[in-house]
Structure 1
Amino acid sequence: MFVESVVRWLLWSFLLQFELEVFAGSCPLRCVCRSEAKEVICSGKHLNSVPEGFSSDARRLDLSYNKIKTVGRRQFHSLPQLQELDLSDNSISMIEVEAFQGLQSLRTLRIKNNRLKIIPVGVFSGLSSLRFLDLSQNEILVFLDYTFKEMVNLQKLEASENDLVFISQRAFFGLQNLQELNLDRSNLTSIPTEALSQLQNLARLRMLRLTISTLPNNAFRRLHRLRSLQIMNWPTLETIAGNSLNGLNLTSLVISSCNLSTVPYSALRNLVYLKILDLSYNPITVIQGNLLGDLIRLQEFHLAGGSLIRIEPAAFRGLPYFRMLNVTSNQLTTLEESAFHSVGNLQILRLDGNPLACDCRLLWVVRRRLRLNFDGHQPSCTSPDAVRRRVFREFSEKELPKLFTCRPARIMDRKPRDARVEEGSTVLLSCKAEGDPSPSITWISSHKNVVTSTGRIRVLANGTLEVRFAQVQDSGTYQCLASNAAGNESLSFGLYVKEVPRNRTGPSFYTEEGWGEPSNPKAANSSAQIAKPYPFDAKTLIIATTMGFLSFLSSVAICFVFMFFWSQSKGQIKHTATIDFVPRSSMGGGGGDGGDGGRFTMKLI
């Protein structure tokens, strides 16, 4: 048994040595062949064309960083076992049809950083085993129909940094197993929706540095298996249509470094599987309350480097798995506990880079400073002066109740202000409050509804309630509610609107100073008018008649003057005129030769 094992080992060693010597003996000039790994390294050898003489057993061929310009038809047909081919960083501008025919084992093909402008249909014929294709950093203008049709096992296509202006509808036909597609930095001006719909198994799509200004409805239809979508560095993107993400089952969505001014709530509402949402580096100013509740599986929300000034209460309500909030480098002064579904689930909080006001609203954060993970970036106070620049971890438990305090909201003037007005008036009801932090003012209408900042009855920016063109049905009790984190206070106002008599049409308005009237409050009562037999008096009639007579005489005089000067311009005027005539026959014969003519002279006056 021992002798048999030794013989087998010797035989195996001999065969291996023979194979290595054969592989080494087939190495092209200026290339390095590594027998153990069956690699041929021809990188950076100033080659102008693909060399010959490769061993048929080669598994990896590196031709990068050369000066190759053309890849001919069946250029690598003698390498049936080749699994990786690198043609990156050459000057390739032409690849002939069936250039890679015979590479039935090839899994990785890199043609990065060349000068390709177009890829003829059939170039990738025979690459049925290919898993990864890198076409980035070329000058490709268009992907034609069926360009990749035989690459049925391709899983990742890297097509970044080309001059793509158009992707044909069937360009991706045949890529039935493609998992990842990158279309960064191209000249596309719209989403190639029809082309993408061919990729029904696509899981990851990345589109960076494009100049597309809007995401239309159904932009990614049929991509039901897409899990990750990255849209980054689109400086002109301002609009995301409400149904643009319909049909997607994303778990990760990144729309960052764009120009969104609001969170696209309508587009997000159907993404019930979403776990990570990143809207960083957008000029978003507020995260509104109760609008993200449909994202029931959301775990992370990122909005770093934006223009955020407020996160409203209940902003993350209904998100039981929410564990990370990243709002670093914004304009937030506070973050209230009421914004979250449960602060007990929160694990990572990035608040650094914000002008935080360290008062009672942030007390919940400071008390959890040892349990919360600030990701290595401790928040610090900007105000008040007593704690300016102090980071949260520096505070002791004893000083927290003294430093992190608030003053409850208090309405400043509580005297009765009931208003009794007439219909059509404009009423201004002022409600001013003080406190620390500054209270917010909310008005409740007589119908128990919250008054908004728009409409005939609205709340002005300074908290004043304005009722324009008051109606009888506006009568009732209006309640002003001043509130902040430390407490709230309310005050009721009575408004009584009286119906305006029919003989009054001029509007008025009511303020704290009293009633105001328009500059011309004349009322017109058409029903009370009495017809008069003579609408004008005698004096008016005389003046009107005289003016009319004078105007008539002036017109006649002008006509005579004009006729006089016209006649003078025609020379000497004749005062007589001689007229010849033939008398008409007394018989009705038509005036033949029956009578003599006559003549008479007229004197012109």
Structure 2
Amino acid sequence: MSITLDGNQLTSLPKALLHLNDVTTLTVDGLSDEDSDVMQHVNRTLRGFTLYGTTLDESTSLAAMQYLSHLEDLSIMKVRLEEIPDRAFSSIAKTLHYLHLSQNVILGNFTLLCDLKSLKRIYVSHVEFAPDIPPVPICPTPVYSSERLDVTQSQLESFPAALLTFPNLHDLSLNQNNITDIDSSMVPANNEVEELRMSGNSLIAVPDALKKMKLLRYLDMSHNQIIALKDGDFQNLLELNTVFLDYNPITFIARAAFQNCPRVQKLSLASTMLVNVPEAMTYLPKLNLLDFSGAPVKCDCRIVWILKQRPGIRGNCPNSSDKISDFFHRSIVSCGENPAIG
């Protein structure tokens, strides 16, 4: 049974809940010390709990939350987190799998993440952190259970300590922040990252630390300020399959930018400033979808010479209604071979 008690300005949980024996999810505006008996009762079956629109500190909601010893999914939304004691969520340290923090203001201790040793997925969205509060703390003991971390639109200025605190992360999303680079010290050599999303940040170049993510399969660095790809930017990323670099002001891609990336199948360079198809495409033997939509790429024989028989080209020829793919197929015979390319 799911119970929602929001928007009704209750000062405490209704005692009627003491007569319900099958509450599995509960949504409330806030808690008080007087709610401890109700929380102890619903705890037997409660697996999902959402708290929002209140101030969470040691003197209010935490006293009642300590009774949630079987919780698997916790959402805290539109809440001010203040003066949080170190072991605030110790009662759910071994049961909590999913933590959602959205539209919060976090002013107090955030090392509570270090105690949640069963966390699998963490979602942090539109959260305002105090200047001295790191969004991802460095824990004395790493949390090995977490597989996915999403910190979106939370005013991050630098790459967080996510891979140090959660060494088994497979999926890391840091979209819509203000990150300008990836500090190599934040990326251990034995990291497990397979998917990295950094769309909408302030990157001006491909970070060197990216090459330490040897298991990377999916990369999204769209909507940044990258102007060029230099030799070796993606070198030896042997598992890389999908790359989004669209909506960057890219004007140049060095020939060896994708050297030894044998598994790349999809590459988006849509809405970049590229004029010529880069020779770097010759290093991508399995490329089957190349997106130039919105980019001023010239339709000339260079397209045929570099891409050869690869299908799946998106985009239009500039100042024309012709699709690049139509031009490509129409010009295969007339353009012939250029032994100087590829």
Pair in the same fold by TM > 0.5: yes
CA distance in 2, matches of 1:41, 1:196: 37
Q: Give the Å deviation of 1:63.
A: 4.2
1:382 equivalent to 2:326? Answer no
CA contact 1:124–1:148 (8 Å) conserved in 2 = no
1:114 equivalent to 2:79? Answer yes
Give 3-state SS (helix, strand or coil) of 1:126's partner.
Answer: helix
CA distance in 2, matches of 1:153, 1:221: 16
Give 3-state SS (helix, strand or coil) of 2:318's partner.
Answer: strand
For residue 361 of structure 1, the aligned residue among 302, 310, 326 is 302
**Residue 430 of structure 1: aligned partner:** none
1:263 equivalent to 2:226? Answer no
1:74 equivalent to 2:36? Answer yes
**Residue 243 of structure 2: aligned partner:** 301
Give 3-state SS (helix, strand or coil) of 2:150's partner.
Answer: strand
For residue 134 of structure 1, the aligned residue among 100, 121, 127 is 100
Q: Which 5+ residue runs of structure 2 have no aligned equivalent?
A: none
**Residue 602 of structure 1: aligned partner:** none
CA distance in 2, matches of 1:321, 1:234: 29
Cα distance 1:51–1:90, how it changes in 2: closer, same or farther (>3 A)?
Answer: farther
Encode CA deviations 1:483-522: one digit per residue, 9 max, x unaligned. Answer: xx7869xxxxxxxxxxxxxxxxxxxxxxxxxxxxxxxxxx
For residue 21 of structure 2, the aligned residue among 57, 77, 94 is 57
The alignment's TM-score, normalised by the length of structure 2, stands at 0.80
The structure showing larger relative contact order (alpha-carbon pairs under 8 Å, at least 6 residues apart) is 2
Give 3-state SS (helix, strand or coil) of 1:269's partner.
Answer: helix
Is the radius of gyration larger for structure 1 or structure 2? 1
Cα distance 1:321–1:109, how it changes in 2: closer, same or farther (>3 A)?
Answer: closer
Give 3-state SS (helix, strand or coil) of 2:128's partner.
Answer: coil
**Residue 118 of structure 2: aligned partner:** 153
Encode CA deviations 1:87-120: one digit per residue, 9 max, x unaligned. Answer: 4444455534441344443333333223443434
**Residue 7 of structure 1: aligned partner:** none
Q: Which 5+ residue runs of structure 1 have no aligned equivalent?
A: 1-37, 166-186, 407-484, 489-605
User: How many residues end up aligned between the 2 structures?
Assistant: 335
Give 3-state SS (helix, strand or coil) of 2:219's partner.
Answer: strand
Matched letter for residue 53 of structure 1: A
Q: Give the Å deviation of 1:364.
A: 4.8
1:431-470 maps to which residues of 2 (within 5 A)?
Answer: none
1:274-285 maps to which residues of 2 (within 5 A)?
Answer: 274-285=216-227
Q: Give the Å deviation of 1:309.
A: 1.1
**Residue 422 of structure 1: aligned partner:** none
CA RMSD of aligned residues (A): 3.6
Give 3-state SS (helix, strand or coil) of 2:64's partner.
Answer: coil
Matched letter for residue 164 of structure 1: F
Q: Give the Å deviation of 1:45.
A: 4.3
CA distance in 1, matches of 2:311, 2:186: 36
Encode CA deviations 1:256-305: one digit per residue, 9 max, x unaligned. Answer: 322222222x3122222111222222222222234433212211222110
Cα distance 1:82–1:397, how it changes in 2: closer, same or farther (>3 A)?
Answer: closer
**Residue 348 of structure 1: aligned partner:** 289
Cα distance 1:354–1:113, how it changes in 2: closer, same or farther (>3 A)?
Answer: same
1:373 equivalent to 2:312? Answer yes
CA distance in 2, matches of 1:234, 1:197: 27
Cα distance 1:154–1:252, how it changes in 2: closer, same or farther (>3 A)?
Answer: closer
CA distance in 1, matches of 2:331, 2:114: 68
1:91-240 maps to which residues of 2 (within 5 A)?
Answer: 91-93=54-56, 95-121=60-86, 123-127=88-92, 128-143=94-109, 149=115, 151-165=116-130, 187=131, 192=136, 194-195=138-139, 198-215=142-159, 220-221=163-164, 223-235=166-178, 237-240=179-182
Q: Give the Å deviation of 1:79.
A: 2.5
Matched letter for residue 209 of structure 2: A
CA distance in 2, matches of 1:366, 1:191: 44
Matched letter for residue 235 of structure 2: G
CA distance in 2, matches of 1:258, 1:405: 42
The alignment's TM-score, normalised by the length of structure 1, stands at 0.48
Encode CA deviations 1:379-398: one digit per residue, 9 max, x unaligned. Answer: 11126xxxx33113444856
CA contact 2:110–2:133 (8 Å) conserved in 1 = no
Matched letter for residue 59 of structure 1: V
